[in-house]
Amino acid sequence: MKLDESISGRIYRRSEIESIVEKVKELMAILPASDEPPSINFDILEIIENATEETQRILSEGQKFFDNLSPEELAEMISTFQQNKKDSESE
């Protein structure tokens, strides 16, 4: 999955963002689809425990990514997001 240019802006660490996106997709793959009933052999506690560990790891990596952004990069991301939001609301 490639990141939408309007969301990612011109971040120099785009590969890091895409890596986080891939990890989130992995996490989503282990969770059951909401419209599918769980199978009889479904071990919900194991899934929740694994999902919690994965979620903590993903959140930690996301936090590291944002911590490593320069003030200029963060400001650019925020500005791009706000402009895109404003543009979509005016349509």
Q: Render the burial of 38-77: b for 16+ CB within 10 Å, e for the rest.
A: eeeeeeeeeeeeeeeebeeebeeeeeeeeeebeeebeeeb
Q: What is the pLDDT of residue 79?
A: 92
pLDDT averaged over 10-residue windows placed end to end, the chain, 91 residues = 57 72 81 66 71 86 90 91 89 77
Q: pTM for the full model?
A: 0.40
Q: What is the pLDDT of residue 15?
A: 74
Q: What is the pLDDT of residue 80?
A: 92
Query: 22's torsion region: left (phi>0), alpha (psi -120 to 50) or beta?
Result: alpha
